[in-house]
Amino acid sequence: MSRLGQLATVSGLLFTAAASSQTIRFDSTWWRHSIHDEERTGFVLGYFDCPKAPKEAYGATSDDYVKYVYKYLGSSSKFDTVPPVLQQANFHIHPHPILSGGEEYPEKHGWLDGEWWGDETRGDVDDKTGYIEGYLACELGSANAPQTQRLVKELNLHFSSEKNQHDKIANVLEPMINRERRRN
């Protein structure tokens, strides 16, 4: 490889490393252009699974919230990031009627456990990444890519054990986040 090619490669690696450690700005550009639908859904689920988040509108789905954010983020709204839009969403989303006979999850954190998370062999990581980003956006107010990926790997490891499949994601994640707080 030529000297110029080596320099370009090193410069590219340094730029990538710097960009990946920057704080994720949960703004309109990120929401509309930088992530996939599964990550958006995961973000909503993680955000509302955080103890600091407002209670979700009973009967509203993650799709309802995703659509609401698309509609109000950065438009004529005064909000330019996702968390405040989600905060106000409960006042405007009209929940669907709850059908009788369906599964109910009255306990804290509902159905968001190891069975939903899966393990490292489950192919789709976008919803896991989104869940962590949403939880961190609510709990800490920010996140960065290395931190998010580290937490995804740690949760994958935890949930790879059959005995941990019924652990609630937030209950496993909270001590990890406390460790992240001490790290910073």
| pLDDT digit string, tens, across residues 58-115 | 678 889 999 999 988 866 667 789 999 998 888 888 877 777 776 666 666 678 889 8
Residue 45 CB burial class (10 angstroms; 0-12, 13-18, ≥19): buried
CA 178 to mean position of chain CA atoms: 17
Distance (Å, rounded) from C-alpha 163 to C-alpha 161?
5
Does residue 56 register a pLDDT over 90? no
CA 130 to mean position of chain CA atoms: 3
Cβ pair 44, 133 in contact under 8 A: no
* Amino acid, single-letter form, for residue 184: N
Q: What is the pLDDT of residues 128-182, one digit of tens each?
A: 999 999 999 999 988 999 999 999 999 999 999 999 999 999 999 999 999 878 8
Distance (Å, rounded) from C-alpha 94 to C-alpha 92?
6
Q: What is the pLDDT of residues 106-122, one digit of tens each?
A: 666 678 889 889 855 55
Q: Under 8 Å CB-to-CB from 50, ≥6 apart: which residues?
A: 134, 135, 138, 139, 170
Does residue 37 register a pLDDT over 50? yes
Query: What Cα–Cα distance (Å) separates residue 49 from each residue in 43, 107, 158, 171?
Result: 10, 12, 18, 10
